[in-house]
Chains A and B, each alone.
Chain A
Amino acid sequence: MMRSVLSVILACVASIAGAADVNTAIIRVEYPQLAPISRFEEKTADLAFAGADLATQDNQTTGQFLGHNFKTIHVAAEPADVVSAAAELRAKGIEIIVVSARADELLAIADAAQDALILNAGAADTALRGAECRANVLHLTPSDAMRADAVAQFSVWKKWTRWFLVRGSNPADIQLAEEYKRAAKKFGVNVVEEREILDTGGSRRADTGHVLVQKQIPVLVQNPKRHDVVIAADASDVFAPYLPFHLWDPRPVLGSAGLRPVSFNPATESWGGTQFQTRFEKLSGRYVTEADYDAWLALRAVGEAVVRTGSADPSDLRTFMLSDDFELAAFKGQPVTFRKWNGQMRQPILLYDGRINASVSPQEGFLHPVSPLDTLGADEPETDCKAFGE
């Protein structure tokens, strides 16, 4: 739009270093997986890519005034091909790579491209910010620890301090349940009972699936100890969405269903969010997902660092992004910044019921000497991450 006009209006900006060509890429890893429980969550062909494109568009609109050029390449890769995909990008001179993938592939890319700046826009595993952290990886996606803490704080604020934890049987479910147990301990919540729902490869969306679900789920969760809420830990997306209306005792559900801790959603309109939603929907013709927002956030953080430093060098950008001078408006009501000790972006967590944000954590009254946002997730004294020297 109006490119010719734009090139004419390149006007002088005081106190900014030279123009930069910023070539970035986003790798999205394609996993073989079952269809989601709800068709509202079907994966679109441009998942995460559309968020990256919006950020690049936003960056370019800003960059035109400073002579910067932003470009982003899309790469969809099979899990087995991520290292070669990263190598190809490196061969093209791309040193800034957004990764929308799970932990294993993220680490494979990070270790194969150690001189590149890797932006994690998908993997929530807490260990990636702890013992498994990498110096060249910054995390936009909130960790599972941050999400569990966000739920726990809200639960405490509500005085719902007796949890009935219902988890799946896969390793990822068990790990997510551990996050909730840790969060419970951190905020003084009592997990009165924990129960497993075995992943037997159920009927999911078959015609009569709801009949089975309606009979099976209540039995699996019958006669629990007295509790205020049910916490669902179902990283595998097997049973949690069925819980709210198939419990034995009617209770609110939080976690993997009911009230869910998310980085963003299409309902958010506070803090200028409407403008973000409008721009995204115009570009993609659909609603935003967390994968899109996380990718947008990654490249906007890069764009902001480029604008403030005038550099496209990944190491300059990383240094600036981890410094006190970096902050970014992210449609969450307060500036978002990076934790110096593990490269995690501190940010509010939205508690979303599928239609509205019922609340946003951190909750009032949870205090911290540096930032209330650091009450979510592992704090500096607790971190296992050794790759980030101050």
Chain B
Amino acid sequence: MRLLVLFFTFLLASVAHADRIFVSNERSNTVTVIDGSTWEVLTEFPAGLRPRGITVSPDGSKLYVCASDDNLVRVFDTSSYEELFTLPSGPDPELFVLEPNGRRLYIANEDDNLVTVVDTQTKEVLAEVPVGVEPEGMAISPNARIVVNTSETTNMAHFIDTETNTIKYNMLVDQRPRYAEYTSDGTRLFVTAEIGGTVSVFDIDGDGAPTEVGKISFQVAGVQPEWLQPVGAKVTSDGQWLFVALGPSNRVAVVDAKTLEVEKYILVGERVWQLAFTPGEEYLLTTNGNTNDITVIDVASQEAVRSIPVGQQPWGVIVAPGIN
């Protein structure tokens, strides 16, 4: 029997598989898994209480989930969906960012005005960095020297030096900053402000110091401006296109990341929240919290091409690259 299990395990591991999309469902306490080539839902598994932030290890083998109401990070195997271990996170972890080498995890503790730094290998808390009220958005510079945290009630982006775990710069942004996103070359940073309705744009110098260079705002005919609430954001790796989820307006804005002009609005599901690219950036996925689905956007044509039902109140989305 044991041999048989081993054999099948070997078989499973050796079989090529497509990209897998993982969606955290805040209200159903689950993660939905979707096949990235057929768009079929493969399964939905329990992921702890109020799963929100979600990411994968650089090798694609581990899935990290902020289980906000469990006050910890749960780590799952991306193939078997089994829980491998948990990581201490500090109270109410909402969003996090993993160092590019996969070692340190930076977690926003929404209730405690802290960013907790956790070593994913020793499972130890390395530092707690005091930040503003209701920390949420997390980003890391591509050279891993600066972690950016946004605090929603303080209305700042805090730039944390990852060597000393202290704040190096603070930049005021508009009301309720939700998300921060670096370009892949690290020279530009975007910070969305949900209630302010804007995206602040910073140029980043060689030392990681920010200079505000512009602010993007949004306008859709027939939609009340207060519903255009920027939340999640993703920029293409060539630094050309910035996609911004606009929450209750049910739209994703397509912004020229160089000129900062809004080029297009793509209609998606209701209360669009977070975004993720598929590995080759062919598609952009959006979580739609009120329609309980995700929308697939074709990046080249900037069109929504399909929607896929998931669990209740989908929050975050990430894609684990497939194995060929």
Contacts and interface: CB of A to CB of B under 8 A. Distances in A.
A298 to B, nearest CB: 15
Nearest to B94: A275
A58 B167 CA distance: 18
A334 B226 contact: yes
Nearest to A332: B195
Contact of B132 (A65, A275, A308, A327): A65
Contact of A9 (B133, B167, B176, B226): B167
B172 A11 contact: no
Interface in B150-168: 151-156, 158, 166-168
Contacts of A206: none
B317 to A, nearest CB: 20
Query: Chain A contact residues: over half helix, strand or loop, or mixed?
Result: mixed
A114 interface: no
B312 interface: no
Interface string A1-42: 110011011011111100000000000000000000000000
A278 B92 contact: yes
B168 A11 contact: yes
A1 to B, nearest CB: 8
Given A13-B171, A334-B226, A272 B155 contact: no
Contacts of B248: 333
B133 A329 contact: no
Interface in B223-277: 224, 226, 248
The bracket for how many chain A residues form the interface is: 20 to 34
B195 A14 contact: no
Nearest to A308: B172
Given A13-B170, A335-B195, A272 B175 contact: no
B130 interface: yes
A164 to B, nearest CB: 33
A220 interface: no
B196 interface: yes
Interface string B117-133: 00000000000101011
A61 B176 CA distance: 15
Contacts, number: 93
Interface residues of B, number: 36
B39 interface: no
B111 interface: yes
A62 B166 CA distance: 16
A372 interface: yes
Given A14-B211, A65-B156, A272 B133 contact: no
Interface in B66-122: 92, 110-111, 113
Nearest to B111: A278
B35 interface: no
B19 interface: no
B172 A13 contact: yes
A275 B111 contact: yes
Nearest to A282: B111
A58 B132 CA distance: 8
B129 to A, nearest CB: 8
Interface in A201-247: none
A71 interface: no
Interface string B128-146: 1010111000000000000
Interface string A317-343: 000000000011100011100000000
Interface of B: 92, 110-111, 113, 128, 130, 132-134, 151-156, 158, 166-172, 174-176, 194-197, 210-212, 224, 226, 248
Given A11-B166, A13-B171, A14-B169, 15 more contacts: A2-B128, A13-B170, A61-B154, A62-B132, A62-B155, A65-B132, A65-B156, A272-B134, A275-B152, A279-B111, A279-B133, A329-B153, A329-B175, A329-B194, A329-B195
18 contacts: A1-B130, A11-B167, A11-B170, A12-B169, A13-B156, A13-B169, A14-B212, A61-B133, A272-B176, A304-B155, A307-B172, A327-B175, A327-B195, A328-B175, A329-B194, A333-B226, A334-B195, A335-B196
